[in-house]
Structure 1
Amino acid sequence: MRKKKMIVLDPGHGGQDPGAVANGLVEKYVAWEIAQRVREKLIRVNADVIIVQPSAGNPKSTTQDELYKPPQEANLLQADFYLSIHVNAGGGEGFESFVHPAAKDKRADMIRNRLHSQVMRYLAQYKIKDRGCKYANFAVLRLTEMPAVLLECLFIDNAWDAGLLKNTTFLHGLANEIAYGLILSLELEEG
């Protein structure tokens, strides 16, 4: 029997750092909800799924805590994979995913491509724009010692996207596809 893989889920922002706020939504709460649902979907597979968010233990955690502590904890845990979940803002629309530029054509890139494709299959039925697979020097991608992906799940400041993020059926489906994308790309087995 293969050893259990450890997956760290990092719901972006928390504590004193709300992330983006618009249309009656707060990014840290939406990201937390998505991460919880992904974790629930992965219970049946042979993996340890840990949510790392400093504000869970310290409601007054700072932006610095939320940015640097999750990758540090994932490294200490020697996780096999790291997924940072966010909601975008800035006047756009749609879904996009990121890996660090140094991960181009490496395992993280391959995992991200499969995960992105799986999520977009679901989002296409809602006419969500595919903003593509991208590369960025984000701290959570740069500081992790394992393959890491960051997802930007729609735009909180876009009325259509925000309406979907308020819909529990939509969030359930989104989490399901993220989890299934992880099962496929990490080759997780039912346990």
Structure 2
Amino acid sequence: MKRIVLDPGHGGADPGAVGNGLLEKQVTWMLANKVKEKLKRMKAEVIIVQPSCGNPRSTKDDELYLPPRDANRLGADFYLSIHVNAGGGTGFESFVHQNSQGKDTDKLRNVLHRQVMAYLAKYGIVDRGKKYANFAVLRLTNMPAVLIECLFIDNAKDAVLLKDQSFIDGLANEIAYGLIVALGLQRG
């Protein structure tokens, strides 16, 4: 049985990106829980790691460094950090650590990215690409780790979608299905 850790980016005292009446920490929490729900019939243990669950005043550093530590302690097989972007752009992008190029982590990310983009393309969402970065959550994990940035909270068009429960449910479904395909999960 695969152990999957979902890290809804930000929480506690760290709201993450803010825009158009949305807080990143709320959107990512909702997405992570919907992904977990959609995977409940699979032979997988899905664990959400969120420091603010145990400490409502968790700091930005807590939210950055504790989830990878928890995933390592739990012996996770896969780590997915879910985020919403900001900064004046639009679209979806995914990241793996810069040392993962051409390795299993990169291949798993490619499957997940392709599945999510197939859904987002129906909404005219821009594919910002599959990228490499030295983000702490990717660098500090001992298992394949992917970080996804799901639209831009400060883009009015993207924010309309992020407020739409039907869209969020569909996005969570495609993230879950991408994990099923990438990890070869079977029904339980």
Task: Indicate the TM-score class for this superposition, using the shorter chain for normalisation.
Answer: over 0.9
TM-score by length of 1: 0.98
- Rounded to whole Å, the distance in 2 between the matches of 1:125 and 1:74 is 33
Q: Does 1:87 align with 2:84?
A: yes
Give the distance between the partners of 1:159 and 1:56, measured in 2 at CA. Answer: 30
Matched residue of 1:14: which SS? coil
CA distance in 2, matches of 1:104, 1:145: 16
**Match for 2:72 among 66, 71, 75?**
75
What are structure 2's unaligned runs of at least 5 residues? none
Report the number of matched residues: 188
Question: 1:7-61: CA deviations, max 9, x gaps?
Answer: 0000000000000000000000000000000000000000000000000111010
Deviation string 1:67-111 (CA, Å, 9 cap, x unpaired) is 000000000011000000000000000000000000111111000
Structure 1: gaps (5+ residues): none
Of all paired residues, the percent bearing the same amino acid is: 70
Inter-partner Cα distance in structure 1 for 2:34 and 2:44: 15
* 2:53 equivalent to 1:28: no
Take 1:182 and 1:85, find their aligned partners in 2: how far apart are those partners? 13
Alignment of 1:1-191 (within 5 A): 4-191=1-188
Tell me the SS of whatever aligns to 2:93. Answer: strand
How well do the aligned residues superpose, as a CA RMSD in angstroms?
0.3
Could you tell me which amino acid in structure 2 is paired with residue 148 of structure 1? A
TM-score (structure 2 length as normaliser): 1.00
Cα separation, 2, equivalents of 1:120 and 1:65? 30
